[in-house]
Amino acid sequence: MTTTEPHAPDLRVSQWIGPQGETLDTPVTLADLGDGAKILFAFQDWCTGCHSHGFPTLQRLYSALEPRGVGFAVIQTVFEGADANTFDKLRVNQTRYRLPIPFGHDAPPEGSSLPTFMQDYHTHGTPWFAVIDAEGKLVYSGFHLDAERLAAALLQE
């Protein structure tokens, strides 16, 4: 795992659905995900790798780590394909992968070509994982996450 920043920036994603698919009135923050470690997953609905690798990896991590207090959120980063990567795809994917966690829709703010998550976490596409430890330090940010290795490391904390 690579360390990229001293502390993880808070989320600036404005549109969210909750764990049961309900539209949330207020944005999700890192604090809303609990006091322990957190795993953030960025995807695009039309991204083949997100569906063949990213979501299955997330499902394994969620099954192993959510009962241990690890917080999770999924963010659709709309840096291209805005017509296909729409807000309504959040619930479709939340249901498809049986993930009762918050899902956010992050389109670029006016005047920018990149969504806020990509700006703040220096991501380079999808699927992308960001792992934050219990102290709030960003300990991993990248494409190639080994779910079993991460789960083992977090279970030792």
Q: pLDDT tens for residues 91-126?
A: 999 999 999 999 999 999 998 989 999 999 999 999
pLDDT digits (tens, 9 = 90+) for 56-71: 999 999 999 999 999 9
Q: What is the CATH number of the domain that holds 131?
A: 3.40.30.10
Does residue 78 lie within any of the structural domains? yes
Alpha carbon distance 89, 42 (integer Å): 13
Residue 50 contacts residue 43 (beta carbons within 8 Å): yes
- The answer to whether residue 150 sits within a structural domain is yes
Q: Is the bond into 127 cis (omega within 30 degrees of 0)?
A: yes
Q: What is the pLDDT of residues 1-60, one digit of tens each?
A: 444 457 899 999 999 999 999 999 999 999 999 999 999 999 999 999 999 999 999 999
Q: How many CA atoms lie within 13 A of 72 on its CB side?
A: 22
Task: For tokens 């990248």, name the residue.
Answer: 142
84 in any annotated domain: yes
Residue 15: inside a domain: no
Amino acid at 94: Q
Exposed, middle or buried by CB within 10 Å (0-12, 13-18, 19+), for 59?
Answer: middle
1 located within any domain: no
Domain boundaries, position 149: 35-156
Tokens 């999808």 belong to residue = 126
Global model pTM greater than 0.85: yes
Asked if the structure places residue 99 within a domain, the reply is yes
